[in-house]
Structure 1
Amino acid sequence: MKIFYLMVSLMGVAYCKKLPSFIEVCSKSDPKIVECLKRNIEKLRPMFLKGIPELQIPSMNPLQIPKASLANGNAITADFTNLQIYQLNDFTIDKLDVDLDHFKLDVTLTFPRLRIMADYHIKGKILVMDLDGSGPADGNYTNVRIHFKSEGSRNNRNGKNYIKIDKTSIDMEIGEAHVFFDRIFGDNEELNANTNKIINDNIETLITDLKPVISEIVDTFLVGITKRLFDKYPIEDLFKP
């Protein structure tokens, strides 16, 4: 989930009495602005654990998401509630390109490990199995690589200029994954175990189905926080000339 466009708004924040003093000022005209952004990311990284109320950032270990859903045509539907995502604060920055003149961001991050726990309800066909089950779900993912792009525009409000996010896109790659759906066949422990084994033996098929869910979580979280920040602070307060 943090990172991405949010990082630009956080890391480029200019001095203002309403803004936290621990943010380093970055200048739009600085040819080394990316290095400035990265310094701020590393400065904020330890704070991601508990969250940063001053910047409207919730805790990222775990990050709590109320709901995410999947509808794959007529094949399968899935609802996930009470999601808890662990280790979002542990990531490497593979790419960070910023174009503040045109409000564009291009970021690639790698998360060595992610754990996603939730309550689920799945109905439909996975592989050759017809499923209709509910219960706790637990997923462990390694080497999750997320490529995030966004584009924005200038929005004048009350005589001040704000950034409006117009478009976002997310691509994702997952190295390895292991998932467990408890009670996917109710109280039949043997059938539950066999079903989970089949799913994990063919995990690439399931991951293909689940990617939209994970992308929805990332997009909702990042865009939501970024919009709140950009709605609050005008461009002139966010960035030095």
Structure 2
Amino acid sequence: MLLYSVLLLCVVLIPTLGIKRVNSVEKYFNVCRRDNPKIEDCVRNSIETLRPRLVGGINEIGIPPLEPLQIPEIKLEEDTGAIALYSSYTNISIHGLSKCEIREIKIDLENNYMQLKVHFPSLELNANYKISGKIMMMPLQGEGLCNGNFTDVDVTSFIKTGTDMRNGKEHLTVEDIGVNFEIGSTSVNLDNLFNGDQDLGSAVNKFLNENWQSIMTEIKPTLEDKMAHIIKLIAAKLFETFSYAELLPP
């Protein structure tokens, strides 16, 4: 469903999926040294320094604009018993990703552990949708425009790393990863449900908005697994592109 799509994209590092090889990391990032006693502060400052450039994107290293972030298509399938749903979204536009607040950064290089807590005050998603199935015995079928607004979205992710040698250089690897998220409130609207039946469409939209917390309880484990998979892909791409010494010089 719509909320599912938003949360899969609301990870602050998602633009780096398209990162390209460059001659110098320092051209784009304030590199932090491993022996820095305030490495968490250094990483936070590096992200904050990069933030203004993320709004319009950095084309030369494959980072798309964040405001809004444009996604061509997402297809989702959920079957948890109470929810059996197939949905697809196209021409997706997401506003608010660049306004994230970094709440906490933990870096334990001795134990190869990193944790990031990010807060999104407000997120808005607009897209074309196609959906069919049921949510808590409520049938859901339609195709048209959709809109979602989400406030106070908190995402916590952790990653445990290892190392290996590639082409004579030490690179980080992903050993374990996890994600937890919480949402303060949400409102969604799906136009043209049930072939434009206004009464039924209004009833279903009302049901979705009144029961979003119960719905989220059902799909949250799957969502967190999906988000962890996305972060793993991002981290693996980053670690493959740059060596450990380039990312965190000794």
TM-score, reference length from structure 2:
0.81
Which secondary structure does the structure 2 equivalent of 1:186 belong to?
helix
**What corresponds to 1:60 in structure 2?**
66
Aligned-pair distance for 1:35?
0.9
Aligned-pair distance for 1:195?
1.8
**What corresponds to 2:3 in structure 1?**
none
Where does the alignment leave 5 or more consecutive residues of structure 1 unmatched?
11-15
RMSD: 2.7
Moved over 6 A (4+): none
**What corresponds to 2:162 in structure 1?**
153
Where does the alignment leave 5 or more consecutive residues of structure 2 unmatched?
1-9
**What corresponds to 2:79 in structure 1?**
72
- When the two structures are aligned, how many residues end up with a matched partner? 234
Q: Distance in 1 between matches of 2:160 and 2:111?
A: 8
TM-score, reference length from structure 1:
0.84
Q: Distance in 1 between matches of 2:225 and 2:106?
A: 23
Structure 2 residue 201 is matched with structure 1 residue 192:
yes
**What corresponds to 1:229 in structure 2?**
238
**What corresponds to 2:54 in structure 1?**
48
The C-alpha deviation readout for 1:89-141, integer Å capped at 9, x for no partner, is 11111111012344321111110001122333333322442222233221100
**What corresponds to 1:13 in structure 2?**
none
- Identity level (%): 28
* Structure 1, 199-208 or 33-42: larger mean CA deviation: 199-208
Structure 2 residue 140 is matched with structure 1 residue 131:
yes
Q: Which amino acid aligns with 2:29?
A: I
The C-alpha deviation readout for 1:27-73, integer Å capped at 9, x for no partner, is 11111011111111111111111222344432222223431413123
8 A contact 1:80–1:118 mirrored in 2: no
Structure 2 residue 190 is matched with structure 1 residue 181:
yes
Inter-CA distance 213–152: structure 2 relative to 1 (3 Å threshold): same
Q: Which amino acid aligns with 1:141?
A: F
Q: Which amino acid aligns with 1:19?
A: V
Aligned-pair distance for 1:2?
4.5
Inter-CA distance 44–29: structure 2 relative to 1 (3 Å threshold): same
Q: Distance in 2 between matches of 1:97 and 1:223?
A: 18
**What corresponds to 1:89 in structure 2?**
98
Inter-CA distance 167–21: structure 2 relative to 1 (3 Å threshold): same
The C-alpha deviation readout for 1:210-238, integer Å capped at 9, x for no partner, is 54676467445543333222111111122
**What corresponds to 2:6 in structure 1?**
none
Which secondary structure does the structure 1 equivalent of 2:240 belong to?
helix
Inter-CA distance 123–59: structure 2 relative to 1 (3 Å threshold): same
* Structure 1, 47-56 or 135-144: larger mean CA deviation: 47-56
Inter-CA distance 89–210: structure 2 relative to 1 (3 Å threshold): farther
